[in-house]
Structure 1
Amino acid sequence: MTPPPALRALIAEDEPILAAALKHALHRLWPELEVVATCANGVEALQQGLALLPDILFMDIKMPGKTGLEAAEELAEQWPQDRPFPPIVFVTAYDEYALAAFEQAAADYVLKPVNDARLGKTISRLQQRLAQVPVAPAAAEELAPIVQAAPAAPADPNLASLLTQLQAMTASAPRLQMIRAAVGNSVRMIPVGEVLYFEALDKYINVVCRDSEALIRTSLKELLPQLDPQQFWQIHRGTIVNASAIATAVRDEAGKLSLTLRQHAAQLRVSPLYAHLFRQM
């Protein structure tokens, strides 16, 4: 009888000593697990993750290039739909990031420096999760075509919720009431409630209202924690929409989801990571 293929893991950690320590600890505690890549930053983690499609991701939260949160979000968006999205273990030196947000999520955490006792518990949880039977055909049809895989697939709402909570924890800021946008030689004051959606454009954000648009020089990562999450929903790595402006969520023949707005002709694409926001109640 042919033995099952070895499970494969990717480590993303910008401190070489800590990356080596984690790799050696995994080898001691889970010798059957093969570490197929060790990445020094979030950009490399994204590239190697999509190239190798590992079964488990160990992601440092704070890394140069892209954070572990950003890399995880982009991986979830670009992951092949016919493959289950891997469980994520976030590695962090900041225990305030590793509390209740992880309890119900498709992820786990270990604190730096990694110790065998905590890592052993994480390994046990990973083994249990990976041993779970994939969803039944009937349940898979309900999720299709977003995902037809095990519980840790990219459409899992818990993963999107976790990423949102961690982003907020790592960049907390007071709620915005007014957008100040430069228009020529003047500054236009835009009440946040009038914004239909925010769209990332290179180093700027396009602020789209019913009858006008304006550019602000910031990033969605900096803007998102300043917005009311009940009113403004992230639907894609590059798009935040005012929930009250959404008219319909429409799925095309390929299964891709897009939104129409009440007061604007734009159609906004929804990443599979956020598709759970538009399931029927």
Structure 2
Amino acid sequence: MTQPFADDPQLPATALIAEDEPLLAQALQAELKRAWPGLEVVASAPDGDSAVELALQHQPELLFLDIRMPGRSGLEAAQAIVEDWPADRALPLVVFITAYDQYALQAFEACAVDYILKPVQPARLAAACQRLRGLVARRRPVSGTPAPVVSTALADGDQLLSQLRQLLGAPTAGSAPQLLSVIQASSGSTVHMVPVEDVVYFEAADKYVRVLTATHEHLIRTSLRELLPQLDPQRFWQVHRGTVVQAREIEHALRDEAGRVQLVLRHRPERLNVSRIYAPRFKGM
């Protein structure tokens, strides 16, 4: 038996397209069909939130993500997909598509597999598809079927897309914000002054953040992304895209046979799930 032929346009693979303009999505799918007849587009998403949901549902091998979309951007969608991707499957290969050079630069710095500028040129897309076929082929065993176990490419993908998380979480401009010492949480006409040192963990909840202490729960109207730069990263560890925990509140970490990690807390009964790109933090010394 032989390895899959990377230059064969009939090489089977699956893909998702995320593009908020229907005509552009249709045009991209048509161009992909011409450049790579063996590629099956299993889903098309009109926004970043749908892209995350459909990607996790269909688990395609490739993602073609527009960077500027309603809801989550393509960068944010890629982060969310990686964090919730099944631990026993290789991460999808990500291609960002954008009309703006500065976003293309961000995608490049985030170590995406590739990026393509709009309007998509057939020759440029064909070159990208040839490169992607090579990457897909190298992930396949001799039989040509998808690898049943996590490959080296998966570990590399974890490292590369962790850089995407760092890019998204980095301050955009100006000096670093002052670290918070007190959280001001409103409840009706009352403003609760919650010392940051009393917080066990923060959890994203739509447009709010839940603030959980050992005995109380508060809700603040901010996003976790806005809150993170105001927390001491040595004391507060992000363990999931929607969860930040105070390190001293972690009793121990449990790892199951599939490599999934859960945190047992000192002063809360619930256990916190750790997403795959944060799991390497919890290794013995």
TM-score by length of 1: 0.74
Tell me the alpha carbon deviations over residues 20-66 of structure 1, each in whole angstroms, 9 at most, x when there is no partner. 33223333433443333322123432343234332201112232244
Show the counterpart of 2:161.
159
Tell me the alpha carbon deviations over residues 4-32 of structure 1, each in whole angstroms, 9 at most, x when there is no partner. 86112211100123223322333343344
User: Distance between the aligned counterparts of 1:129 and 1:228, measured in 2?
Assistant: 39
Does the 8 Å CA contact 2:16/2:63 hold for their aligned counterparts? yes
User: Distance between the aligned counterparts of 1:5 and 1:159, measured in 2?
Assistant: 26
Show the counterpart of 2:7.
none
- 2:89 aligned with 1:92: no
Does the 8 Å CA contact 1:197/1:239 hold for their aligned counterparts? yes
Aligned with 2:15 (options 9, 20, 24): 9
Show the counterpart of 1:67.
73
Show the counterpart of 1:139.
none
After the TM superposition, which residues 193-232 of structure 1 pair with which residues of structure 2 at under 5 Å, given as runs? 194-209=198-213, 212-224=216-228, 226-227=230-231, 229=233, 231-232=235-236
Q: Which runs of 5+ in 1 are unaligned?
A: 136-146
User: Distance between the aligned counterparts of 2:124 and 2:248, measured in 1?
Assistant: 43
User: Distance between the aligned counterparts of 1:16 and 1:56, measured in 2?
Assistant: 19
Aligned-residue CA RMSD (Å)? 3.8
Show the counterpart of 1:114.
120
1:241 CA drift (Å): 1.9
Show the counterpart of 1:48.
54
User: Distance between the aligned counterparts of 1:196 and 1:33, measured in 2?
Assistant: 46
Show the counterpart of 2:150.
148
After the TM superposition, which residues 187-198 of structure 1 pair with which residues of structure 2 at under 5 Å, given as runs? 187-192=191-196, 194-198=198-202
Q: Residue 233 of structure 1 aligns to a residue in which SS?
A: strand
1:163 CA drift (Å): 3.1
Q: Quick one: structure 1 residues 224 and 233, their matched pair in 2 at CA, closer, same or farther if it must change by over 3 Å?
A: same
User: Distance between the aligned counterparts of 1:15 and 1:204, measured in 2?
Assistant: 29
Aligned with 1:34 (options 40, 50, 66): 40
User: Distance between the aligned counterparts of 1:268 and 1:80, measured in 2?
Assistant: 17
1:160 CA drift (Å): 3.0
User: Distance between the aligned counterparts of 1:54 and 1:122, measured in 2?
Assistant: 17
Letter in 2 for 1:220: L
Letter in 1 for 2:55: G
Does the 8 Å CA contact 2:107/2:115 hold for their aligned counterparts? no
Q: Residue 262 of structure 2 aligns to a residue in which SS?
A: strand
Q: Quick one: structure 1 residues 257 and 41, their matched pair in 2 at CA, closer, same or farther if it must change by over 3 Å?
A: same
Show the counterpart of 1:142.
none
Tell me the alpha carbon deviations over residues 103-155 of structure 1, each in whole angstroms, 9 at most, x when there is no partner. 573543223333346545533442332233579xxxxxxxxxxx723514697
Show the counterpart of 2:145.
none
Does the 8 Å CA contact 2:13/2:39 hold for their aligned counterparts? yes
1:233 CA drift (Å): 3.1
Q: Quick one: structure 1 residues 280 and 122, their matched pair in 2 at CA, closer, same or farther if it must change by over 3 Å?
A: farther
User: Distance between the aligned counterparts of 2:261 and 2:23, measured in 1?
Assistant: 43
Q: Which runs of 5+ in 2 are unaligned?
A: 5-9, 142-148
Q: Quick one: structure 1 residues 111 and 195, their matched pair in 2 at CA, closer, same or farther if it must change by over 3 Å?
A: farther
Show the counterpart of 2:136.
130
- 2:25 aligned with 1:19: yes
Number of residue pairs aligned between Structure 1 and Structure 2: 270
User: Distance between the aligned counterparts of 1:30 and 1:235, measured in 2?
Assistant: 38
